[in-house]
Structure 1
Amino acid sequence: MLFTEGQKLFNKYMITHGMSEETIKGYLKDLRLFNHYMTDVYNTAIYVEDVTADDVEEYMYYLLDERELAPRSRNRYLFSLRSFLNYAVKKRWVEFNAATEVDPVKVMDEKKVALTQEEIEELLSAIEHPIIRFAVALLSFTGLRVKEARTLILSDIDFEQNRLLANGKGKKQRYIPIAQSFKPYLEEYIAEIRESNDSPYLLATKKTGKLSAIYINNELHRAVKELGWDKNVTCHALRRSFATNLLRKGVNVFAISKLLGHASIKTTTVYLQLNENELQEAVNKL
Structure 2
Amino acid sequence: MFFSPNYDLPIYVKKFIKYLKRVNYSEQTIIGYSKDLKIFNEFIYREYQGKIMLEQVTRNDILDYMVFLQDKRAYKPNSVYRHLSTLKSFYRFLVDELNIKENVAAKIRHQKVYTPLPPILDIQEMERLLLTAREYSLYFFTLFSFLYYTGSRITPVISLEKKNVNLKDNKIYFPRIKGGEDLYLPIHNKLKPIMETFLNNHPAPAYPFVFHSPRNPGEYIDHTTVRLHLKRVKNLAGIEKRVTPHIIRHCTATHLTLAKVDQKFISNILGQKDPRSTARYQQLNVDNLRDSLNLLP
Q: What TM-score results when the alignment is normalised by the length of structure 2?
A: 0.84
**Bigger shift: 208-217 or 104-113?**
104-113
Q: How does 1:19-98 map to 2 (within 5 A)?
A: 19-90=25-96, 91-95=98-102, 97-98=103-104
> More deviation in 149-158 or 11-20?
11-20
**Residue among 249, 267, 287 paired with 1:257:** 267
Whole-Å separation in 1 of the counterparts to 2:279 and 2:185: 19
Q: SS at the partner of 1:164? A: strand
Task: Specify every segment of 5 or more residues in structure 1 that has no aligned partner in the other structure, as ranges.
Answer: none
Give the whole-Å Cα distance in 2 for the aligned partners of 1:94 and 1:143: 42
1:190 and 2:206 aligned: no
1:219 partner amino acid: H
Deviation at 1:31, TM superposition (A): 1.9
In structure 2, relative to structure 1, the CA distance for the partners of 1:274 and 1:151 (3 Å cut) is same
Q: Does structure 1 retain, via aligned residues, the 8 Å contact 2:122–2:251?
A: yes
Q: How far does the alpha carbon of each residue in 1:204-257 deviate from its partner, in whole angstroms, 9 at most, with x for none?
A: 355321322211211222233344434221011111211211111111111111
Identity between Structure 1 and Structure 2 (%): 29
Q: 1:159 to 1:16 in 2, by over 3 A?
A: closer
The 2-side partners of 1:206 and 1:9 are apart by 33
Q: Does 1:221 align with 2:231?
A: yes
Distance 1:242 1:223 in 2: 18
CA contact (8 A) 1:244 1:273 kept: yes
CA–CA distance in structure 2, aligned partners of residues 226 and 70 of structure 1: 32
TM-score (norm: length of structure 1):
0.87
User: Is the contact made by 1:162 and 1:178 (CA closer than 8 Å) also made in structure 2?
Assistant: yes
Cα RMSD (Å) of the superposition? 2.4
Partner of 1:172: 181
Residues 61-92 of structure 1 deviation map (CA, whole Å, 9 limit, x = unaligned):
22123323333322211111112223334455
Q: 2-side partners of 1:89 and 1:148: how far apart?
A: 31
Q: Does 1:7 align with 2:16?
A: no
Deviations 1:44-63 (A, max 9, x none): 24223322333222211221
**Structure 1 residues 214 and 12: alpha-carbon distance in aligned structure 2, compared to 1, 3 A threshold:** closer
Structure 2 stretches lacking a partner, 5+ long: 1-6
The 3 A distance-change label for structure 1 pair 113 and 168 is farther
C-alpha distance in 2 between matches for 1:53 and 1:206: 47
After the TM superposition, which of the residue ranges 151-160 and 136-145 deviates more from structure 2?
A: 151-160
Distance 1:106 1:175, change over 3 A: closer
**Does the 8 Å CA contact 1:154/1:202 hold for their aligned counterparts?**
yes
Indicate the residue corresponding to 2:207 in structure 1: 199
1:178-214 alpha-carbon deviations (Å, 9 max, x no partner): 111222222222334x311222222235532132221
Q: Distance in 2 between matches of 1:203 and 1:10?
A: 30
Equivalent residues of 2:24, 2:176 under 8 A apart: no
Residue by residue, what CA displacement relative to the aligned partner does 1:21-40 show, whole Å, maximum 9, x if unpaired? 43234323322221210110
| Cα distance in structure 1, aligned partners of 2:60 and 2:267 | 41
CA distance in 1, matches of 2:80, 2:15: 24
Q: State the distance in 2 between where 1:214 and 1:124 align.
A: 19
Give me the whole-angstrom Cα distance separating, in 2, the residues matched to 1:5 and 1:69. Answer: 27
Which residue matches 1:124?
130
